[in-house]
Copies of this chain bind each other. A is one copy, B any other.
Amino acid sequence: MKCRLCDSTAIAALPRHNSGFCRTHFIEFFQKQVRKAIRKYAMFSRKDRLLVCVSGGKDSLTLWHVLNESGYDTTGLYIDLGIGGYSRASLEKAESFAEGIKRELIVVDFAREYADIKRLAALSKRTDCSTCGVVKRYFFNRVALEQGFDVVATGHNLDDEAARLLGNILRWQIDLVRKQSPLLDSDEGLVKKVKPLFRLTEQEIAIYAFLNRIDYLREECPMSRGTTGLIYKDILNRIELESPGTKHFFYFQFLERRDDLFSDGAVERKDRPSLCRRCGMPCSEQVCAFCRLTDYLKRSGQTPDEPA
């Protein structure tokens, strides 16, 4: 296969675009998709200070790489959740990447200051993944607020977003469906959140990471095995094999038509945004999910240290 833009041999096939690219044009294509995402949603400009949430995996390190290459003012944020060897290995990847691009990496040692995720999940009777989600969302926002960042950027890709949409649709959670977006605007106590990789698939990100020698942790989080999110991704990949472009169409058409697709009557639960009585962070109840989680720790006799 030839590159669709020059005479070189294609090194990356893009079935959903029915084409392939050489190294140079693949990287151009990739950067163009990121630029398109940033522009379309007015995510940020070169004047903004970006907090890039990194896990040590391919999506988040690729995000940091492409934003840094594009000249944005970036700082990394890593949250150590205490998932044994996986957390140690992923912190190492994040640290050595930060060193390589000479940018600061902020590290929140959640496991040491509070508890490891598995313990907290067991105490609170939440699933591991939902506990992890509460903790990460809380610190993404709090660190950004306290340290004056303008935007929080995460490495969510097209596969993540399409899988999430499918899961919410299968349960007809229209309130969640209508909120799903590559951009969550700032609000009282809430820093703007963006997903600049939402136009790119996992596979495309893996190719970009490979071509740019990004040294990321290949191991998946051991707690995510068999979770519904991964199953929905697998399922969409199977449909994609049969009908290339379905995943892209499903999510992009949703974004285009979201405001016209669903009726207002379909939203059951209206969020009343407010601030947590305890910590002052935004939440939809009187006490935020993070404070309720750490209450379990206090009740179990392990009082957390002074919060990070």
Q: Which residues of A contact B (CB under 8 A)?
A: 169-172, 174, 226, 228, 231-232, 235, 238-239, 242-243, 246, 249-250, 253-254, 257, 260-266
Say whether A246 contacts B170, CB under 8 Å: yes
Given contacts A171-B246, A172-B261, A260-B265, 6 further A-B contacts (CB under 8 A): A172-B249, A235-B235, A235-B239, A260-B263, A261-B263, A261-B266
Q: Could you jot down 9 A-B contacts, CB within 8 Å?
A: A169-B169, A170-B246, A171-B250, A171-B253, A172-B253, A172-B261, A228-B242, A261-B266, A262-B263
Given contacts A260-B265, A262-B263, A266-B260, contact A172 B242 (CB under 8 A): no
Closest to A266 in B: B261
Query: Complex formed: what's the CA distance from A260 to B253 in Å?
Result: 20
Residues of B within 8 A of A253 (CB): 171-172
**Copy count, this protein chain:** 2
Query: Complex formed: what's the CA distance from A253 to B169 in Å?
Result: 11
Of A170, A235, A246, most buried by chain B (CB within 10 Å of CB) is: A170
Residues of B within 8 A of A226 (CB): 242
Residues of B within 8 A of A231 (CB): 238-239, 242
Closest to A250 in B: B170
Residues of B within 8 A of A257 (CB): 172, 266
Closest to A242 in B: B231
Query: Complex formed: what's the CA distance from A242 to B230 in Å?
Result: 12
Query: Complex formed: what's the CA distance from A254 to B266 in Å?
Result: 11
Residues of B within 8 A of A174 (CB): 261
Closest to A234 in B: B238
Instruction: Tell me the minimal C-beta distance from A149 to chain B in angstroms.
Output: 35
Instruction: Tell me the minimal C-beta distance from A256 to chain B in angstroms.
Output: 9
Choose among B169, B243, B260 the residue that contacts A228 (Cβ–Cβ < 8 A): B243
Residues of B within 8 A of A250 (CB): 170-172
Closest to A169 in B: B169
Residues of B within 8 A of A170 (CB): 239, 246, 249-250
Query: Complex formed: what's the CA distance from A260 to B264 in Å?
Result: 8
Instruction: Tell me the minimal C-beta distance from A222 to chain B in angstroms.
Output: 18
Query: Complex formed: what's the CA distance from A246 to B171 in Å?
Result: 7
Query: Complex formed: what's the CA distance from A59 to B169 in Å?
Result: 28
Query: Complex formed: what's the CA distance from A228 to B226 in Å?
Result: 25
Say whether A238 contacts B239, CB under 8 Å: no
Instruction: Tell me the minimal C-beta distance from A161 to chain B in angstroms.
Output: 14
Instruction: Tell me the minimal C-beta distance from A126 to chain B in angstroms.
Output: 17
